[in-house]
Amino acid sequence: MSTPPGFARYADRLWAEALPLDELAERFGTPCYVYSRAAIEERWALYRSALGVAGDVCYAVKANGNLALLQLLARHGAGFDIVSGGELERVLHAGGDAARVVFSGVGKGTDEIRRALQAGIRCFNVESAAELERIASVAATENTPAPVALRVNPDVNPETHPYIATGLAQSKFGIALEEAEALYLQAANDPRLEVRGIACHIGSQLLSVAPLTEAAERLAALARRLQEQGISLDHIDAGGGLGVHYIDEQPPTPAEHIEAISAPLRDLGVSVLVEPGRAIVAEAGILLTRIEYLKHNGGKEFAIVDAGMNDYLRPALYDAAHTLEAVTPSEAELRPVDVVGPVCESADTFARDCTLPAAAGGLLAIRSAGAYGAVMASQYNARPRPPEVLVDGTQAHLIRRRETIDELMSGESLLPEG
């Protein structure tokens, strides 16, 4: 099996593992997510060593919240960035330390705030004045001051897909820099709150560190103004966002990411937090899928695979391009095919004019599918969500089994008799 030229070495760890992918497909069925423990640990270690002891790496759970992966990262001492009460429960269940959890998100509910406060999380990354007041009032009823950072919106263009840009002035995320200072003064004088830091996150799949540095410079300027006014800060949370290799991207390394955000913050005397998600898990995962049928329509050839947009949404949602590879040797000639899923939507397309030796029954790997893959799977078209497997050396662990048809109907009820 050939490796695409230029593919970073860590992405190839999965393929170097002792377990042939076709055996995994036989054993667990397709479609099926397969992750490499070694690849995840390698990426984790790069972030950990780049940041050093003066900071904390808070893995963004939204990228892949599988319990076994959270447990793996917790054992390596990860902090976690969560965006819901559900993610908090997953982190705690997997053995994560609540005191290393930061809670982002524009719509935190009262129950979620209360639970996070009771669990003793490190910090709420507050996204509006109204949310700050809600957190303060929950803190008052719980008789526990709430640790807060304001997630500011530095108005920096992250140069990424508009759906995953979050730090522009007109985005729904964060608080405008100009409004933040007054809100910090208000929070610092509120006994229900404890100001801990400043947070931001400008977007995802960033392929240059320049916008990250620009954002960090704006955070540093705000931090200096706050410190001058006697507001002490424990940390600055620069968010996540580092891009990965899907087709031919050349993303910066974790070390370059850390250097880009740390340089402007260096003399502030605060610890630095980062919230990488995609950069830890994306390239460590593939989605294995089998070609069910080949067909021709309108002069095009289609390979219809058993994975659909319900299993892996990124291509349909963002028109995202991925490297697709044939896993099993095939006598079929290399030729352009559209690789499509079985879901009743034309957007259910994984690749157009992809050069493959496509043959019915052949196995394909959609690469770099470890982030925003299984977590975004749905049951659309009443399709059970796929299993997830972690390859660990010569072992393969089923870390989430395939959903059953019964589970698809669980919680629903038929109408009463009559």
Ligand X SMILES: Cc1ncc(COP(=O)(O)O)c(C=O)c1O
Q: Is residue 10 annotated as involved in ligand binding?
A: no
Interface residue with ligand LYS among 37, 314, 367, 383 (CB under 6 A) is: 314
Q: What is the CA radius of gyration of the chain?
A: 23
Cα dihedral sign for 212, 250, 315, 290?
negative
Contact between 168 and ligand LYS by CB under 6 A: the answer reads no
Q: Is residue 228 annotated as involved in ligand binding?
A: no
Measure the CA–CA gap between 53 and 271, rounded to whole angstroms: 9
The tokens describing 259, both together, are 């250097």
Interface residue with ligand LYS among 372, 386, 387, 389 (CB under 6 A) is: 372
Measure the CA–CA gap between 308 and 363, rounded to whole angstroms: 15
CB of 409 to ligand X, least distance (A): 32
Measure the CA–CA gap between 67 and 80, rounded to whole angstroms: 13
- Decide: 119 and 92 in contact? Cβ < 8 Å: yes
Q: Which amino acid is at 34?
A: V
Contact between 271 and ligand X by CB under 6 A: the answer reads no
CB closer to ligand LYS, 62 vs 108: 62
Residue range at the interface with ligand X (CB under 6 A); choices 90-98, 214-222, 273-281, 328-336: 273-281
Footprint (CB under 6 A) of ligand LYS, residues 25-84? 62
Interface residue with ligand X among 31, 197, 239, 386 (CB under 6 A) is: 239
Q: Is residue 214 annotated as involved in ligand binding?
A: no
CA 295 to chain CA mean position, Å: 35
- Decide: 75 and 50 in contact? Cβ < 8 Å: no
Contact between 205 and ligand LYS by CB under 6 A: the answer reads yes
Q: Report, in this order, helix, strand and coil percent for the chain, each rounded to 5.
A: 35, 25, 40
Residues 6+ apart with CB under 8 A from 365: 21, 286, 287, 288, 289, 324, 325, 327
CB closer to ligand X, 36 vs 104: 104
Contact between 64 and ligand X by CB under 6 A: the answer reads no
Contact between 339 and ligand X by CB under 6 A: the answer reads no
Q: Is residue 345 annotated as involved in ligand binding?
A: yes
Contact between 368 and ligand LYS by CB under 6 A: the answer reads no
Residue range at the interface with ligand X (CB under 6 A); choices 189-197, 235-243, 303-311, 354-362: 235-243
CB closer to ligand X, 160 vs 323: 160
DSSP class of 84: S
Q: Is residue 372 annotated as involved in ligand binding?
A: yes
Build a one-symbol-per-residue string for 227-266: x at contacts with ligand LYS by CB under 6 A, - elsewhere.
----------------------------------------
The SS3 call for residue 215 is helix
* Residue 202 binding: pick among ligand X, ligand LYS, none (C-beta 5-8 Å cut-off by kind): none
The SS3 call for residue 142 is helix
Q: Which amino acid is at 264?
A: P
Measure the CA–CA gap between 100 and 113, rounded to whole angstroms: 16
* Residue 314 binding: pick among ligand X, ligand LYS, none (C-beta 5-8 Å cut-off by kind): ligand LYS
Interface residue with ligand LYS among 128, 204, 213, 289 (CB under 6 A) is: 204
Contact between 275 and ligand X by CB under 6 A: the answer reads yes
Q: How many CB atoms lie within 10 A of CB 160?
A: 20
200 part of the active site: no
CB closer to ligand X, 278 vs 290: 278
Residues 6+ apart with CB under 8 A from 282: 63, 244, 368, 369, 370, 371, 372
Contact between 201 and ligand X by CB under 6 A: the answer reads yes
- Decide: 65 and 90 in contact? Cβ < 8 Å: yes
- Among 357, 326, 385, which residue's Cα sits nearest to residue 66? 385
Contact between 66 and ligand X by CB under 6 A: the answer reads no
* Residue 104 binding: pick among ligand LYS, ligand X, none (C-beta 5-8 Å cut-off by kind): ligand X
* Residues near ligand X, by CB under 6 A: 60, 63, 81, 104, 166, 201, 204, 239-242, 275-279
Q: Which segments are annotated as binding site for pyridoxal 5'-phosphate?
A: 241, 275-278, 372
**Active-site residues: which are they?**
344
* Residues near ligand LYS, by CB under 6 A: 62, 164, 166, 204-205, 314, 372
